[in-house]
């Protein structure tokens, strides 16, 4: 059997058979892939660290007849501190959820971005919503769905009033609004622009006013649902 070493992070999984687990890995070069961890649900299982969401490291994968089998795991990080803060944990799960439902082909850039977002979330004092909002903006841009512009996506006029047209996933002017449109207020737009321009490392030092980051998440969530047909969860901040 051919075996390969791949860098990846566990983004989900389900128990199968008596003691096995089927995990989904997000990898930079192969995108999403599933692989079985055999006999991993016992306390003394050698590879038990490899079965948990957020486990990030190098996996040895053997191609089996029916499925891939993980035979080795060298952990780099498991972002363990997320589990001691419920708000951060929800945000971390949301990041994994975004990947699970938006990645259809390999994207090394989004992989790197996910690791950066998790590191900031886990190890820095960053306000709620910032990491998830920023990550969503990048996912849309990477997929060609970027929508941050000061011009109407339909007629090209410089925008005064801004509306998000849900059906096209773009920002339009009042005259070009068709179908379901949501008004974007200045606080939301400012938050989106600030977050898209700030590196993860610098997110802890910025302060977004008037809850713009919450409004931004609402809008990004709406866009995610329209693009990927998946409803992202609410983030709870404590
Ligand atoms: Zn227009």
Give the whole-angstrom CA distance, residue 164 versus residue 129.
20
If one compares 74 and 48, the residue with the highest pLDDT of the two is 74
CA of 186 to the centre of ligand 1 (A): 18
- Compute the average pLDDT of residues 9-16: 95
Q: Which strand (E) or helix (H) includes residue 6?
A: strand 3-16
Give the whole-angstrom CA distance, residue 24 versus residue 122.
21
CA of 184 to the centre of ligand 1 (A): 14
Only one residue has tokens 């989106």, namely: 192
CA of 164 to the centre of ligand 1 (A): 11
Percentage of the chain lying above the pLDDT 70 cut: 99
pLDDT confidence of residue 26: 98
pLDDT confidence of residue 92: 97
pLDDT confidence of residue 237: 60
CA of 191 to the centre of ligand 1 (A): 22
Sign of CA dihedral 174, 170, 227, 190: negative
Terminal C-alpha separation, the chain: 49
CA of 180 to the centre of ligand 1 (A): 15
Give the whole-angstrom CA distance, residue 10 versus residue 34.
9
Give the whole-angstrom CA distance, residue 196 versus residue 135.
9
CA of 155 to the centre of ligand 1 (A): 4
CA of 168 to the centre of ligand 1 (A): 13
* Ion ligand 1 residues within 5 Å by Cβ: 152, 154-155, 173, 176
Q: Are 208 and 127 in contact (CB under 8 A)?
A: yes
**pTM, full prediction:** 0.93
CA of 182 to the centre of ligand 1 (A): 14
pLDDT confidence of residue 48: 87
Contacts of 205 (CB under 8 A, 6+ apart): none
Q: 148 in helix, strand or coil?
A: coil
Give the whole-angstrom CA distance, residue 110 versus residue 139.
7
pLDDT confidence of residue 18: 86
Secondary structure tally for the chain: helices H, strands E: 5, 8
Q: What is the pLDDT of residues 132-187, one digit of tens each?
A: 999 999 999 999 888 788 899 999 999 989 999 988 888 999 999 988 899 999 99
CA of 173 to the centre of ligand 1 (A): 4
Contacts of 66 (CB under 8 A, 6+ apart): none
CA of 175 to the centre of ligand 1 (A): 6
Cα 47 from chain centre:
25
Give the whole-angstrom CA distance, residue 6 versus residue 204.
31
CA of 148 to the centre of ligand 1 (A): 15
What domains does the chain contain, in order, with CATH numbers? 3-77 (2.40.50.140), 81-228 (1.20.1440.120)
Q: What is the pLDDT of residues 224-237, one digit of tens each?
A: 998 899 999 988 76
CA of 217 to the centre of ligand 1 (A): 24
pLDDT over 60 (residue 238): no
Q: What is the pLDDT of residues 178-216, one digit of tens each?
A: 888 999 999 999 999 999 999 999 999 999 999 999 999
CA of 218 to the centre of ligand 1 (A): 23
Q: What is the pLDDT of residues 74-126, one digit of tens each?
A: 999 999 999 999 999 999 999 999 999 999 999 999 999 999 999 999 999 99
pLDDT confidence of residue 105: 92
pLDDT confidence of residue 1: 64
Only one residue has tokens 């969503």, namely: 136
Give the whole-angstrom CA distance, residue 109 versus residue 228.
19
pLDDT confidence of residue 76: 98
pLDDT confidence of residue 14: 94
Burial bucket for residue 215 (CB in 10 Å: 0-12, 13-18, 19+): buried
């Amino acid at each position: 059997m051919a075996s390969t070493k791949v860098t990846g992070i566990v983004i989900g999984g389900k128990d199968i058979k008596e003691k096995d687990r089927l995990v989904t890995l997000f990898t930079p070069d192969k995108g999403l892939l599933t692989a079985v961890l055999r006999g991993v649900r016992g306390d003394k299982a050698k590879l038990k660290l490899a079965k948990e969401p957020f486990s990030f490291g190098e996996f040895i994968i053997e191609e089996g007849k029916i499925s891939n089998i993980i035979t080795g795991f060298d952990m780099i990080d498991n972002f363990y501190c997320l589990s001691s803060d419920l708000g951060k944990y929800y945000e971390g799960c949301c990041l994994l959820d975004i990947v699970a439902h938006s990645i259809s082909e390999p994207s090394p850039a989004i992989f790197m971005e996910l690791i950066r977002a998790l590191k900031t979330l886990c190890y820095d004092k960053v306000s709620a919503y910032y990491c998830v909002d920023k990550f969503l903006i990048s996912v849309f841009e990477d997929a060609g769905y970027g929508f941050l512009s000061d011009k109407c996506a339909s007629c090209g006029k410089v925008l005064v009033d801004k509306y998000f047209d849900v059906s096209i996933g773009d920002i339009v002017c009042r005259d070009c609004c068709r179908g379901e449109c949501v008004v974007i207020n200045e606080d939301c737009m400012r938050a989106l622009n600030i977050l898209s321009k700030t590196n993860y490392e610098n997110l802890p030092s910025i302060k977004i006013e008037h809850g713009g980051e919450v409004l931004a998440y609402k809008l990004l969530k709406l866009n995610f649902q329209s693009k990927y047909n998946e409803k992202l969860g609410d983030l709870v901040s404590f």
